[in-house]
Amino acid sequence: MSSLSRHVAVLSRSLSYCGLLPVWLMAGAALAQPVESAYTSLDLEADCRWEADDGEVSMGGSAVCSGYGEYPVHVGEGDLRMFAAFGPAAEPFRFWQSFMQFNHVNEVVEWRLRDGEPFAAILRYFVDNQTPDTGIPEGQMLVISTVAGAGGESCVVGYVDARANPEANTLARQVADTVVPGFVCGEHEPRYFGERGETAGSTG
């Protein structure tokens, strides 16, 4: 069995485990529509408008950043830990979901589009999970999130360890395309998909 086939099998088991497989099957017609990727930059200095700590983000601040068309990226930082939400969410930081370790986000967002509209976003986090041999922060996690429509909600759906899975980007896209459509923020819990290595961050 190929590495990608193993990832698909793991994904199917994970979907069944978290009770989302029936939703996925019922949404088969919608999921059959072509899905494409678009990429935007996330320069925390050039692309974002920062505000001082307003009480929602401890020891940090929040920003609204340019995203995909009318879908902004909301970035929050607190105690050297970051969180990103996507789209015109009513309360972008309602679901504060980050890693327990210090971390920061990558400068590229991958948006998954159906009929030209983004429904999921994939963002790489660099997690300060030092290895004994090098002392270099080596954790790299792909975080898959929902994209909120006007007044909707954005939250984390799943995590893929980019170092432990050789086809991590493909697996993250599969999670986005199959899990996000049936995911309900506040009711379903995000989970890890694929292999989880020693440098993967912990989410508490």
Greater confidence (185 vs 8) lies with: 185
The answer to the question of residue 46 being in a domain is yes
Please check whether residue 201 lies inside any domain of the structure: no
When pLDDT is averaged across residues 160-173 and rounded to a whole number, the result is 97
Domain hosting 121: range is 3-193
Looking at the structure of the chain, the number of domains it has is 1
How far is it, in rounded angstroms, from Cα 191 to Cα 51?
31
User: Is residue 148 classed as helix, strand or coil in its secondary structure?
Assistant: coil
Q: Which pLDDT tens digit goes with each residue over 40-92?
A: 999 999 989 988 654 444 457 899 999 999 999 999 998 899 999 999 999 99
202 within a domain of the structure (yes/no): no
| Rg of the chain on CA atoms, in Å | 16
Confirm whether 198 is domain-assigned. Answer: no
Mean pLDDT is lowest, of 9-13, 123-127, 190-194, for 9-13
- The tally of CA atoms less than 13 A away on the side-chain side of residue 81 is 16
The full DSSP string for 14-74 is: HHHHTT-HHHHHHTHHHHTS-EEEEEEE--TTTSEEEEE--SSSTTEEEEEEEEETTEEEE
Can you tell me the distance from the alpha carbon of 195 to that of 129, in angstroms, rounded to the nearest whole number? 17
